[in-house]
Amino acid sequence: MDGRKEAKAWIAYRWMAESAFSAFKCIFGEHVRAVRWKNMVREPMLKTSIYKC
Protein backbone atom coordinates (compact mmCIF):
# COMPACT_ATOMS: atom_id res chain seq x y z
CA MET A 1 0.00 0.00 0.00
CA ASP A 2 1.18 3.50 -0.76
CA GLY A 3 2.36 5.57 2.21
CA ARG A 4 -0.14 8.30 1.45
CA LYS A 5 -3.05 5.88 1.38
CA GLU A 6 -1.97 4.40 4.71
CA ALA A 7 -1.69 7.86 6.25
CA LYS A 8 -5.09 8.87 4.88
CA ALA A 9 -6.68 5.68 6.23
CA TRP A 10 -5.06 6.23 9.64
CA ILE A 11 -6.30 9.82 9.82
CA ALA A 12 -9.84 8.73 8.92
CA TYR A 13 -9.74 5.96 11.54
CA ARG A 14 -8.42 8.31 14.22
CA TRP A 15 -11.08 10.91 13.40
CA MET A 16 -13.85 8.30 13.77
CA ALA A 17 -12.39 6.99 17.04
CA GLU A 18 -12.05 10.50 18.51
CA SER A 19 -15.64 11.28 17.51
CA ALA A 20 -16.94 8.14 19.19
CA PHE A 21 -14.99 8.80 22.42
CA SER A 22 -16.15 12.41 22.45
CA ALA A 23 -19.81 11.41 22.08
CA PHE A 24 -19.42 8.73 24.77
CA LYS A 25 -17.86 11.21 27.21
CA CYS A 26 -20.52 13.80 26.44
CA ILE A 27 -23.28 11.35 27.33
CA PHE A 28 -21.73 9.50 30.29
CA GLY A 29 -19.05 11.87 31.60
CA GLU A 30 -15.33 11.33 32.02
CA HIS A 31 -15.30 9.74 35.46
CA VAL A 32 -16.14 6.34 36.88
CA ARG A 33 -18.45 6.52 39.87
CA ALA A 34 -17.78 3.04 41.23
CA VAL A 35 -15.62 2.61 44.33
CA ARG A 36 -14.58 -1.05 44.14
CA TRP A 37 -12.07 -2.09 41.49
CA LYS A 38 -14.31 -4.87 40.15
CA ASN A 39 -17.11 -2.38 39.59
CA MET A 40 -14.73 0.20 38.11
CA VAL A 41 -13.98 -2.33 35.39
CA ARG A 42 -17.64 -3.24 34.86
CA GLU A 43 -19.02 0.29 34.69
CA PRO A 44 -17.41 1.31 31.38
CA MET A 45 -18.39 -2.03 29.85
CA LEU A 46 -22.01 -1.51 30.84
CA LYS A 47 -21.97 2.08 29.61
CA THR A 48 -20.53 0.92 26.30
CA SER A 49 -23.24 -1.71 25.88
CA ILE A 50 -25.88 0.93 26.58
CA TYR A 51 -24.26 3.33 24.10
CA LYS A 52 -24.31 0.70 21.33
CA CYS A 53 -28.11 0.29 21.55
Of 25, 18, 19, 14, the closest CA to residue 48 belongs to: 25
Helix (H, G, I), strand (E, B) or coil at 10: helix
Average pLDDT of span 37-49: 91
Assess contact for 29 and 43: CB atoms under 8 A.
no
| Average pLDDT in the chain | 87
pLDDT in tens, 18-33: 998 898 889 888 888 9
Between CA 39 and CA 6 the distance in angstroms is: 39
**DSSP label of 38:** H
Q: How many CA atoms lie within 13 A of 22 on its CB side?
A: 6
More confident of the two residues 1 and 39: 39
| pLDDT value, residue 6 | 85
Q: Which DSSP category does 35 fall into?
A: -
Instruction: Return the percentage of the chain with pLDDT > 70, whole number.
Output: 96
Tell me what pLDDT residue 2 has: 73
